[in-house]
Amino acid sequence: TETKVIRTALAGMNSYAPDAIIGDQSGRGNNWALGYCGGRSVQDPTTAVVDAVFESFRHQVESCDNFLGCTLVHSLAGGTGAGFGCRLAEVLRDDYPATYLTSISIFPSAVGDTPLQHYNTMLSISWLQEYMDSILYFNNDDLIKLFTRRTTSDNNNASPNVSMTTLNRSIATAVASLVLPVNGRPYDFIDLINSVTPMSSLKFCEASCYPQMNGVFGSKPNCGEPDWLSMANKLLNIIPKGRFSTVAAQLTVRSNDVNHSFPPHYKMIKEKMTRHLNCVSWNPFPLDIRLSVEQYGKKQNKGQPTITLLSNRTRIATRLADDLDSALAKFHARAYVHWYERYGCDDSMFESAFRSVSN
- Tens of pLDDT along 150-199? 655 555 554 457 788 888 888 988 898 888 888 888 877 788 888 999 88
Mean pLDDT confidence for 283-305: 77
pLDDT of 180: 87
Cα separation, 64 vs 272, whole angstroms: 41
Cα separation, 307 vs 210, whole angstroms: 5
Confidence of residue 303 (pLDDT cuts 50, 70, 90): low
Confidence of residue 148 (pLDDT cuts 50, 70, 90): confident
pLDDT tens readout for residues 270-287: 999 999 999 999 999 999
Of 107, 66, 74, 67, the residue nearest 1 (C-alpha)? 74
Of 293, 124, 309, the residue nearest 208 (C-alpha)? 309
pLDDT at 295 over 90: no
pLDDT of 203: 93
69, 98 in Cβ contact below 8 A? no
Residue 264 DSSP symbol: G
Residue 11 DSSP symbol: T
- Prediction pTM value: 0.87
pLDDT at 267 over 70: yes
- Locate the DSSP E strands across 28-179: 69-75, 100-107, 134-139
Phi and psi at 204, nearest 5°, equal -90, 130
* Residue of 121 and 238 predicted with greater confidence: 121
pLDDT of 90: 93
Cα 255 to its chain centre, rounded Å, is 24
pLDDT of 218: 47
pLDDT of 252: 93
* Residue of 28 and 174 predicted with greater confidence: 174
Average per-residue pLDDT for the chain = 84
pLDDT of 250: 95
Cα separation, 204 vs 202, whole angstroms: 6
In the sheet with 69-75, reading across from the earlier edge strand, the strands are 69-75, 100-107, 134-139, 204-210, 306-313, 246-254, 287-292
Phi and psi at 48, nearest 5°, equal -65, -40
pLDDT at 288 over 90: yes
Mean pLDDT confidence for 294-320: 80
Cα separation, 172 vs 180, whole angstroms: 11
* Residue of 359 and 203 predicted with greater confidence: 203
Cα 161 to its chain centre, rounded Å, is 23
